[in-house]
Amino acid sequence: MLIATRDFFVRHLKKGTFLWKSLEFLQGMLFVKNYLFYYKWNLIKNSTTTKEVNIEFVSYCNLRCSFCSLDHEKP
């Protein structure tokens, strides 16, 4: 339902209109509210969020499986 409503607004509104700008403003305010509740004020303690994802590409794997995409030298 929400996705269909969003798609309707995207298809039928021009990006320069007042209604489009006010919808973008409200979306930004919802983002700010969620950010403040989760990260700054710590009002919601039961939810799980991901603040940071650390990805390190290393090739010291010794498994040598057939599905491995790492660049191993075969013995």
- Please tell me the predicted confidence (pLDDT) of residue 25: 93
**Is pLDDT at 45 greater than 90 in this prediction?**
no
Q: Print the domain residue range for 54.
A: 1-75
Give the integer Cα–Cα distance in Å for 11 and 13: 6
Give the number of domains in the chain: 1
List pLDDT tens digits, range 49-75.
677 777 766 656 666 666 666 555 554
User: How far is C-alpha 37 from the chain's CA centre?
Assistant: 17
